[in-house]
Amino acid sequence: MKSIEQIAAELQGYDPQALSAAAVNDFLARLVEPVAETETLPIFEALDRVLARDVISPVSVPPHDNSAMDGYAFAGSQLRADAPLTLQPVGTALAGKAWQGQVGPGQCVRIMTGAIMPAGLDTVVPQEFVQQNGEQITIPAGLLQPGDNRRFKGEDVMQGQPALRAGTRLSPAALGLAASLGIPTVTVWRRLKVAYFSTGDEILSLGEAPREGAVYDSNRYTVFGLLTRLGVEVLDYGVVGDTPEKLEATFRRAAAEADAIITSGGVSVGEADHTKTMMKRLGDVAFWRIAMRPGRPMAVGRIATGSRSCVLFGLPGNPVAVMVTFLAFVRPALLRMMGSNAAPTPWLRARSLEAMRKKPGRTEYQRGIVSTASDGTLQVRTTGNQGSGVLSSMVQANGLIVLHHGQGNVAVGDEVDVMMFDGVI
């Protein structure tokens, strides 16, 4: 396991006082490691868990060539581009069992969707496209190509091949695919345990009486929601007063019980704060000024207790900054710890409806509202006030407009990247 100093030495141009957003993610990718323990779960309990090993298909899906349509199956070699084809139905093939008859030239079989293709037949004409001529059907010229509307054996999954790869986060579709193979259980990485707490004597928990200079804690609840959406086991340690004894006890407890710790507040560079002091004392921790807005201060590292080592993410105190740093940095790191090989959250390109001032040299995350223009293209506008304490703007937004490190001013009509919230927060 590499130390913070060793990881920093591997990063070209590493400067903890002016770290780019890209460098932060590069650093965290080297810092965190996936969990090692697995468990086997029934399909109904495996949603959003991460596969620990490949799921090898015991069967082919579909198990036979079959019809993709309700219609008539016939030998496609009889089709002619310049002439209609007239055929005589000689039976009906139903889904769930093979049709046992014989089909000769000029003949066809009425067939249902999913029914096994009779021997020698390779093409299906949908029933709505044929003309009935007494007991015969006629297929118009130029309507079909040989092989149309046939599903091939193993077209979805072939027996003996991986149907789902290790590292896949099990979506509803993945659960359905596993079930379609007759597989009742899957082996997944154990659920990641993440402890979190807010720090500061000025923070009130819900139910406490208001007092001058104090504010109600919002960060615990947004972080709880973000972690729950991610699918980790959440350990809520509440609000911890800014005293050395309380902080030390909470850090030690969290390091003993969790794989990762998330705190909010008390990590500003140069700040005389017990939280920061305790992080330094108990762990191998780096304190950064990230070239970003909002969310400039952040701490990362490890806190060890006994034989365990717990990853630490010390986030800023402002509510919006907490959410932005979580989405930009903590979420990708936690997914890696969960064993997921998922790509980063996809970004959309949208046309800006307003001008935005931006100096190169830092990444800015503006709260945005993406909508569809009358011409079908995507457009985005900001929510207005972009202050890091304006939490209502995160409620209004459906994504973050990402203005990259080297990017300058944005003019009306310029395309920008947007990190969408759907399914994330």
Looking at residue 217, what is its pLDDT? 85
CATH number of the domain that residue 124 is part of: 2.170.190.11
Looking at residue 266, what is its pLDDT? 77
CATH number of the domain that residue 182 is part of: 3.90.105.10
Same domain as 325, residue 273 = yes
Whole-number Å distance between alpha carbons of 224 and 264? 12
Range of the domain at 270: 4-37+192-337
Same domain as 202, residue 313 = yes
Return the biggest CA–CA distance within the chain.
93
The CA-atom distances, in angstroms, between 391 and each of 20, 149, 202, 234, 383 are 24, 53, 18, 22, 11
Looking at residue 424, what is its pLDDT? 67
381 domain-assigned: yes
Looking at residue 210, what is its pLDDT? 86
Q: Mean pLDDT in each 10-residue stretch from start to end of the chain (425 residues)?
A: 93 93 96 96 96 97 95 97 96 94 96 96 97 95 96 95 96 95 97 93 78 84 94 94 89 96 79 77 94 94 88 94 96 96 85 96 97 97 90 94 97 97 74
pTM summary value: 0.88
Same domain as 168, residue 118 = no
Same domain as 321, residue 206 = yes
Among 173, 189, 205, the domain-final residue is: 189
Looking at residue 211, what is its pLDDT? 86
72 domain-assigned: yes
Same domain as 174, residue 121 = no
425 domain-assigned: no
Q: How far apart are the first and last CA of the chain?
A: 32
Same domain as 147, residue 107 = yes
Same domain as 290, residue 244 = yes
Same domain as 204, residue 174 = no
Same domain as 321, residue 197 = yes
Same domain as 363, residue 255 = no
342 domain-assigned: no
Whole-number Å distance between alpha carbons of 225 and 194? 13
Judge whether 367 and 320 are in contact, CB under 8 Å: yes
Among 151, 172, 202, the domain-final residue is: 151
Same domain as 166, residue 54 = yes
Residue carrying the six token digits 């972080």: 223
**Looking at the 3D structure of the chain, how many domains does it have?**
4
Whole-number Å distance between alpha carbons of 197 and 224? 10
Judge whether 397 and 368 are in contact, CB under 8 Å: yes
Same domain as 410, residue 357 = yes
Among 337, 358, 391, the domain-final residue is: 337
CATH number of the domain that residue 359 is part of: 2.40.340.10
162 domain-assigned: yes
CATH number of the domain that residue 279 is part of: 3.40.980.10
214 domain-assigned: yes
Residue carrying the six token digits 């003309």: 131
